[in-house]
Structure 1
Amino acid sequence: MTNNALHTIEAQIREQAAAYCESNNVPGFVAGVYHAGEQIVVAHGTANVATGAPMLEDTGFLFGSVTKVLTTTLVLQQVERGVLDLDTPVVKYLPDFALTAPGAADNILVRHLISHTNGIDADLYFPDAKGRDALKTYADGLASNGGTLFEPGEQLSYSNGGMIIAGRLLEVVTGLPFPDLLERDIYAPVGMQDSCTSAEQAILRSTAVGHFNDLETMAAKPTGMFTLPDTWGPAGGTPIGTIADLLAFGRTHLAGGESPSGTRVLSTESTALMQQVAYDMASPNVPPIGLGWVLYPFDDTTVLAMSGASPGGVSILCVVPEHDLVFTAFGNTPGAIMLQDQILQWLLSEHLGVQIPTLITELEQDVDLTPYVGTYRSNQLRIDVSIVDGQLEERVTYEPADESQDRIFTEFAGGMTSAPPQRYVPLRPGLFAPAGYPLEAFDGYLRLLLVSYHDVRDGQARFRNGGGRLTRRA
């Protein structure tokens, strides 16, 4: 790639970021692109409106769920060393691992943890524990808080619980606390020199905080919670680093597991395995999943992606093997995900010349809505689906298990735990779009806003999928 092309990318991102942040009250944004041996980082705005600290190219931020790809990489390192086996039941390594239903955990394989096919129903379970035993506390708590959505391997549902159990598994088989393992086996060999795993470390350098828009003034207010509890580390609660660090990690996966400095982090075979389809729901709103990576198809090009929410912030990491490209970004309000999607689509279509196919071409008339009506549940979440004016209407209710869960989730969500009812228009049987959106809005990352229903039996769907997460008919 020529410097001219890099210059074009840099100017485009700078322009897009400035315009979007201005019109959507996003205080700060930072992004990086590596392509064909060259890379750029662009920073815009403010890292923390309380202090006025600027967002710099080397400002740190919470990785959020991007961490899941790091956790998966750690698991495959241990598989290579013969310490773990992907097709062995988790209980062989963690004999006390249990869910609320007796025996429900026994058939969950190591592979199911990192491919989101484990069926653990604990996605809003936030035990508040710190330090060395945090992941043990989480694992022990599943026996009384972890339900089951489906039999292991039979469905796909985005799983924080699976990744946290994978982190606990790593602690048990290596004898190292998860943060120490991450530093030793990912940060060091990849060359992620500005990454850490705690607020105590992050405070020693420039670090962004999340913000939420005040509903009355629409002004961005800093989050009251910097990180999720330590119990969520392997799913993305605590790791923090920079754009340059995530570019180095993405480049390691581009290069078949070899870091930019030439250190072997993962074998070529394991790196390829992470990029292969592990499960495909065959529904437009749920991209196929590999191990750790979500595999977004854009025509003949696959984008390996993971986005990560943190309290008031959102990160993204995309690796495009066919085009030797890595894109990563962080914005310090949740709405920045839209800007990240815009930049990704620009990079694909304008810079790489990738055709972005239209995901939904037309609406189907006369779809029978009755199979989808009812109440669906998952961990601390209830979704009531009814028919109003020929559309589906969904009411989402958060039902906290206890005061501690309520406090943590409310802070994570910026105080907004209830939403107004949402109407959906049918695209075809079992697939719905939020009313009022143009269909082209769903061609990129925002396909996750579509809702699908699955496994219709006796005229009733058993599952609802929204944002990659399943809820089960109550």
Structure 2
Amino acid sequence: MNDNTLNTVENSLRAQIASYCEANHVPGFAAGVHHAGEQVVVAHGVANTGTGAPMLADTRFLLGSVTKVLTTTLVLRQVDLGLLALDAPVVRYLPEFALATPGAADKILVRHLIGHTNGIDADLYFPDAAGRDALQAYVAGLAGRDTLFEPGEQLSYSNGGMILAGRLLEVVTGTPFHDLLEREIYAPVGMTDSSTSAKQAILRSTAVGHFLDPETMAAKPTTMFTLPDTWGPAGGTPIGTIADLLAFGRTHLAGGVSPTGERVLSAESTALMQQVCFDMDSPNVPPIGLGWVLYPFGGTTVLAMSGASPGGVSLLCVVPEHDLVFTAFGNTPGAILLQDQLLQWLLREHLGVEIPALVTAVEQEVDLTAYTGVYRSDQLRIDVTIVDGQLEEQVTYEPHDESQERIFTEFAGGATSGPPQRLIPIRPGLFAPAGYPLEAFDGYLRLLLVSYHDVQDGRARFRNGGGRLTRRA
């Protein structure tokens, strides 16, 4: 990337970010691009509307689920060292790991945890424990959770699997997860401004999330900065900067060698993370590697992971074919639309990647009866009915107890259920939310599409929305 091109990228990022944030009430946004040895970081707006603190190029923010790629890298490091085996049962290392159904935990392998194929039904399980025993408490609580499917049978985005992997790391290394993250990822990668707690973050410029007031559209700071310590390995607590995430992405571009020159991961393990380990063959569910989601944009694969935090959203993308890393953070949930816009601009205009339309037409004559019914996962209920010849979904959060309700509602900005959503059939088993132009799904937002899977005796067994499965009740 020459200086002129770098200037072009920077100027376009600034213009697109300013325009979108102004029109969509996003208080602050930061983004960075590394390409062919050159790098640019831009920041816009404010990090906290309560204080007026500006969003700076080095402002910290919660990494959210981008942390899952860091956790996976830690797991593969231990595989490189011979401390873990991907095809070993988790109970070999964690004999106390159990699920509600006797014997179910015994079938889960280490690779199932970081490949989102473990089937553990705990995606919204938020036990409120803190300190060095938090992950141990989380694993103990899994004894009351069950499974959605047999390990390796399906793909479903899994917070529980990553948290269990975090506890696994603690046991085999003898080191608390956050200390291990700092020692084996932050330090060798050169993530000098990253931290693992709010106590550390408060010492530097740090952004907080916001939620929009539905009446005034004013952005109000979140009442919860981080999720409980139990969610650390899935993305609840780690904090970093745009430059630090670019450095981590560059490590995966360089076969596991960080910008500091230190080898973080073997070339074989780095490549393994980027290989397809499961593909549901559905446009709304990209193939998964280990840690990375593998988004196909035409013939180009983007390794990606997004991360929701209370009132904020981050994104990390690595494009090995073009030697590019893109990362961004916005401090309202709606900033993900801007992240998708910038990613597609980089692919199309900067790299010359042709992005074919993911959905080119809708199909009118689709029998909807196979998809109606009630679908459930842990603390989540989805009622699917036919209304005016269309599918209609009602999503409701049903907390187990007051603690779960408090944590979830603060994380979601106060909402426990969404309004009914109409779905337009694209083809049998695949639907688009009504009101969106078809081109909206060409990029990262293909996750908004809804699919139904494994039709038996005229009924679908599973619903997939946002990469997460619910099972017919």
**TM-score range for the pair, normalised by the shorter chain length:** over 0.9
Partner of 1:169: helix, strand, or coil? Answer: helix
What is residue 8 of structure 1 aligned with on the other side?
8
What is residue 130 of structure 1 aligned with on the other side?
130
AA aligned opposite 2:363: E
What is residue 21 of structure 2 aligned with on the other side?
21
CA shift at 1:398, angstroms? 0.7
What is residue 342 of structure 1 aligned with on the other side?
341
User: Is residue 299 from structure 1 mapped to residue 298 from structure 2 by the alignment?
Assistant: yes
User: Is residue 63 from structure 1 mapped to residue 43 from structure 2 by the alignment?
Assistant: no
What is residue 395 of structure 2 aligned with on the other side?
396
More divergent stretch after superposition (97-106 vs 270-279): 97-106
Partner of 1:281: helix, strand, or coil? Answer: coil
User: How far, CA to CA, are the matches of 1:246 and 1:397 in structure 2?
Assistant: 34
AA aligned opposite 2:343: L
User: Is residue 157 from structure 1 mapped to residue 162 from structure 2 by the alignment?
Assistant: no
What is residue 117 of structure 1 aligned with on the other side?
117
Partner of 1:455: helix, strand, or coil? Answer: strand
Q: Number of aligned pairs?
A: 473
CA shift at 1:74, angstroms? 0.1
Partner of 1:132: helix, strand, or coil? Answer: coil
User: How far, CA to CA, are the matches of 1:28 and 1:16 in structure 2?
Assistant: 13
Correspondence list, 1:24-39, <5 A: 24-39=24-39
User: Is residue 77 from structure 1 mapped to residue 77 from structure 2 by the alignment?
Assistant: yes
What is residue 54 of structure 2 aligned with on the other side?
54
User: How far, CA to CA, are the matches of 2:417 and 2:127 in structure 1?
Assistant: 21
User: How far, CA to CA, are the matches of 1:92 and 1:406 in structure 2?
Assistant: 34
Q: Per-residue CA shift, 1:249-294, capped at 9, x if unaligned?
A: 0000000000011100001100000000010000000000000000
Partner of 1:148: helix, strand, or coil? Answer: coil
CA shift at 1:365, angstroms? 2.1
Structure 1: which 5+ runs fail to align? Answer: none
What is residue 361 of structure 1 aligned with on the other side?
360
User: How far, CA to CA, are the matches of 1:368 and 1:250 in structure 2?
Assistant: 44
Q: Per-residue CA shift, 1:86-142, capped at 9, x if unaligned?
A: 000000100010111111111000000000000000011000011010000000000
What is residue 45 of structure 1 aligned with on the other side?
45
Q: Per-residue CA shift, 1:157-209, capped at 9, x if unaligned?
A: 00000000000000000000000000000000000000000000000000000
User: How far, CA to CA, are the matches of 2:239 and 2:396 in structure 1?
Assistant: 31
Correspondence list, 1:451-466, <5 A: 451-466=450-465
User: How far, CA to CA, are the matches of 1:27 and 1:133 in structure 2?
Assistant: 36
Q: Which runs of 4+ in 1 moved over 3 A?
A: none
User: How far, CA to CA, are the matches of 2:411 and 2:395 in structure 1?
Assistant: 17
AA aligned opposite 1:2: N
User: How far, CA to CA, are the matches of 2:165 and 2:285 in structure 1?
Assistant: 23
What is residue 209 of structure 1 aligned with on the other side?
208
Partner of 2:285: helix, strand, or coil? Answer: coil
AA aligned opposite 2:364: Q
Partner of 2:5: helix, strand, or coil? Answer: helix
AA aligned opposite 1:54: P
Partner of 1:377: helix, strand, or coil? Answer: strand
User: How far, CA to CA, are the matches of 1:348 and 1:398 in structure 2?
Assistant: 37
User: How far, CA to CA, are the matches of 1:418 and 1:113 in structure 2?
Assistant: 28
What is residue 251 of structure 2 aligned with on the other side?
252
User: How far, CA to CA, are the matches of 1:178 and 1:241 in structure 2?
Assistant: 16
CA shift at 1:312, angstroms? 0.2
AA aligned opposite 2:276: V
AA aligned opposite 2:178: P
User: How far, CA to CA, are the matches of 2:43 and 2:321 in structure 1?
Assistant: 27
User: Is residue 435 from structure 1 mapped to residue 438 from structure 2 by the alignment?
Assistant: no
Correspondence list, 1:265-284, <5 A: 265-284=264-283
User: Is residue 416 from structure 1 mapped to residue 415 from structure 2 by the alignment?
Assistant: yes
What is residue 350 of structure 2 aligned with on the other side?
351
Partner of 2:470: helix, strand, or coil? Answer: strand
AA aligned opposite 1:190: V
User: How far, CA to CA, are the matches of 2:438 and 2:335 in structure 1?
Assistant: 20
What is residue 140 of structure 1 aligned with on the other side?
140
More divergent stretch after superposition (285-294 vs 97-106): 97-106
User: Is residue 322 from structure 1 mapped to residue 347 from structure 2 by the alignment?
Assistant: no
What is residue 236 of structure 2 aligned with on the other side?
237
User: How far, CA to CA, are the matches of 2:101 and 2:125 in structure 1?
Assistant: 16
AA aligned opposite 2:369: T
User: Is residue 227 from structure 1 mapped to residue 242 from structure 2 by the alignment?
Assistant: no
CA shift at 1:423, angstroms? 0.2
User: How far, CA to CA, are the matches of 1:306 and 1:412 in structure 2?
Assistant: 19
User: How far, CA to CA, are the matches of 2:211 and 2:415 in structure 1?
Assistant: 10
User: Is residue 171 from structure 1 mapped to residue 170 from structure 2 by the alignment?
Assistant: yes
RMSD value, Cα: 0.4
CA shift at 1:430, angstroms? 0.1
User: How far, CA to CA, are the matches of 1:100 and 1:345 in structure 2?
Assistant: 43
User: How far, CA to CA, are the matches of 1:290 and 1:299 in structure 2?
Assistant: 18
Q: Per-residue CA shift, 1:218-255, capped at 9, x if unaligned?
A: 10000000000000000000000100000000000000
AA aligned opposite 1:255: A
User: How far, CA to CA, are the matches of 2:439 and 2:157 in structure 1?
Assistant: 24
User: How far, CA to CA, are the matches of 2:72 and 2:321 in structure 1?
Assistant: 22
What is residue 405 of structure 1 aligned with on the other side?
404
AA aligned opposite 1:224: T
What is residue 94 of structure 2 aligned with on the other side?
94
User: How far, CA to CA, are the matches of 1:55 and 1:273 in structure 2?
Assistant: 36
User: How far, CA to CA, are the matches of 2:18 and 2:415 in structure 1?
Assistant: 27
CA shift at 1:300, angstroms? 1.2
